Amino acid sequence: MKETIETQVCANCKLEKPLSKYYFIKATQKYNRQCKKCLCGKAKAYREANSEKCLAYRRANAKRYRAYTKAYYRAYPEKCRNARRNWERANREKCRAKCAKRRADRLKATPAWADLKKIQEIYLNCPPGYQVDHYFPLVSDKMCGLHVESNLQYLPAKENAMKKNKVTLKQQLNG
């Protein structure tokens, strides 16, 4: 009868750990000799020591990374949501700073002549599953829109997330 091994000693930190703490290599049908923590630590140290090289590689392969990220989010939506929530809890100050910047940008983009009651009405009447979107983004490298009722539109949440703050050629020509 074959005996099953449930622990392994890491080749790097020399600690005995359960096999769940090691990556399984499908090609060799064996567990990695180094634990996940050691491998991640080595990868992080490499990225920090070679940040310019890693950044250049990521930029050169941006489409591949985007495709991989999208596929991963589709395959593991709950895991990604939990990871984001955990990051937000651990980085509350960064999240608050981002929200504060967004509020400040919106305030700067609201002219004195804007009809604030109409803007509020647009937000209150937003249909379920839709979001209020700025037709011309408030902050963009090409052009910046105003926070006024004529620059607001309803978009499905998914479409609004895909749009981000991009400005199309049609918007540039009509703007």
Residue 143 pLDDT greater than 80, yes or no: no
Is 78 part of any domain? no
Residue 22: give its domain's CATH number: 3.30.60
Is 84 part of any domain? no
Is 94 part of any domain? no
Domain carrying residue 135: 112-174
Q: Does this model's pTM top 0.75?
A: no
Whole-number average pLDDT of the chain: 88
Q: How confident is the model at residue 162 (pLDDT cuts 50, 70, 90)?
A: confident
Q: Which residues contact 46 (CB under 8 A, 6 or more apart)?
A: 54
Total number of domains constituting the chain = 2
Is 51 part of any domain? yes
- For range 3-32, the mean pLDDT: 91
Q: Determine whether 136 is exposed, middle or buried from the number of CB atoms within 10 Å of its CB (0-12, 13-18, 19+).
A: buried
- For range 97-113, the mean pLDDT: 84
